[in-house]
Amino acid sequence: MSEQHSSGHLSQLIARFDQRTAVIGIIGLGYVGLPLSLRYAEAGFRVLGIDIDPAKVRRLNAGASYIEHISASAIGAALAAGFEASGDFARAAEADALIICVPTPLNAYREPDLSFVLATADALLPYLRAGQVVSLESTTYPGTTDEELRPRLASRGLTVGEDIFLVFSPEREDPGNPDFETRTIPKVCGGDTAACLRAGIALYSPAIDQVVPVSSTRAAELTKLLENIHRAVNIGLVNEMKIIADKMDIDIHEVIRAAATKPFGFTPYYPGPGLGGHCIPIDPFYLTWKARQYGLHTRFIELAGEINSDMPHWVIGKLADALNERSRSIKGSRVLVLGIAYKKNVEDMRESPSVELMEILRAKGALVDYSDPHVPVFPPMREHHFALASVALTAATIASYDVLLLATSHSAFDYDLIQQHAALIIDTRGVWPDRLPNVVKA
């Protein structure tokens, strides 16, 4: 192909992004893909959202939302602006940009599971054409974009950097965080070639306030891992400090609050019952797995992962000790878990440590219920099943349980009511700063 012809694909693509005449295709309409779809619609683009879940497609096209912090009115505004959801991958040919936002979980051996990414790429493959840019946003190990996606594009007879353009741009969504939105969170972008990077910058610049270019897709992939490993390691540190402080009869939350008054050199991280969400419990294992291919052992990262993974069992140990002091055992005790989402004020349950706590309690013979204003019915999950609905918190229901385990500190909970009527509370979030006879810090 002539250099003039290949540069023509890029210049035409950039012009469509600049003029907002490009069609943006987003594959995977979950916590990452749906906000991104709405942002592109808001920025004046026609957006085609593709998802394999027909229920999601139907709800979106009817103007309904299935994510708590995204309103139906926001869906309606996007539909009015030209957004459309579909389950038909053949329509990918209509799009000038294809942005892949699908899960990258771990398998049973704590190894990367790229099945969603690879299945999506294979489903798109027959419909790829010259003049498109393909962007992977799913968190993964360095090398995924060029080792897995580039050969697939080449198998279609498309030369990356000339006919079609390939980038990695990691998602940075923080569901329920009112301080940031898709538009205001800087977007890291790495291209497979220099031309690919130009296409990626042109793709994201109309929708995102700041695009941060890096030298390669591998640098962009590692950037995402570093961001979340940084958090995982620091949370592992404060979780270990919590155990030490507990042995010394010191409130770790008091210590963190005091340390956070230092105006330089300290960033507060907070302990909890374990790690949750789609990134922090998973991302470190993507890097440790890849590092083994280079003969490296990521000791620091794996130690933090070990500490964080042990936290649910440590919390249950504290609960068992507290019951024992009251002449009760876990077996047969009525336990109410407060908050089963992975973080406060959202309904997102991905990798929630609350669910592991419930599993451990159930295995030990406890009678387990939960209360979560954001999760009215326990949802279907791949690895967990509880036929439960959220318990309404009243003085009578609170008093009817042997122990309340606070796992997620939602703002909607009435903490005064809980403390006044609970026989025993296991507080994993430092909600009650004072020493109270019915509150055990965990």
Query: Which positions are catalytic?
Result: 279
- Quickly list DSSP for 44-111: T-EEEEE-S-HHHHHHHHTT--SSTTS-HHHHHHHHHTT-EEES-GGGGGG-SEEEE-----B-TTS-
Instruction: Give Cβ neighbours of residue 357 (< 8 Å, ≥ 6 apart).
Output: 273, 274, 312, 315, 316, 337, 405, 407
CA dist 423 and 283 (Å) reads 39
Q: Are 145 and 136 contacting, i.e. CB atoms less than 8 angstroms apart?
A: yes
Helix count (H) and strand count (E) of the chain? 15, 13
Q: Are 155 and 189 contacting, i.e. CB atoms less than 8 angstroms apart?
A: no
Length of the chain: 442
CA dist 223 and 312 (Å) reads 29
Query: What tokens appear for 294 in the block?
Result: 């280079």
The helix/strand/coil state of 427 is strand
- Closest among 440, 272, 270 to 356, alpha carbons compared: 272
Q: Are 395 and 375 contacting, i.e. CB atoms less than 8 angstroms apart?
A: no
- Closest among 99, 124, 80 to 37, alpha carbons compared: 99
CA dist 142 and 358 (Å) reads 35
- What backbone phi and psi angles, to 5 degrees, belong to 233? -65, -45
Rama region for 161: left / alpha / beta (φ>0; ψ in -120 to 50; rest): left
Q: Which residues pair with 188 in a beta bridge?
A: 212
The helix/strand/coil state of 284 is helix
Q: Are 422 and 401 contacting, i.e. CB atoms less than 8 angstroms apart?
A: yes
CA 163 to each of CA 55, 132, 158, 221: distance values in angstroms, whole numbers, following the listed order: 35, 8, 6, 23
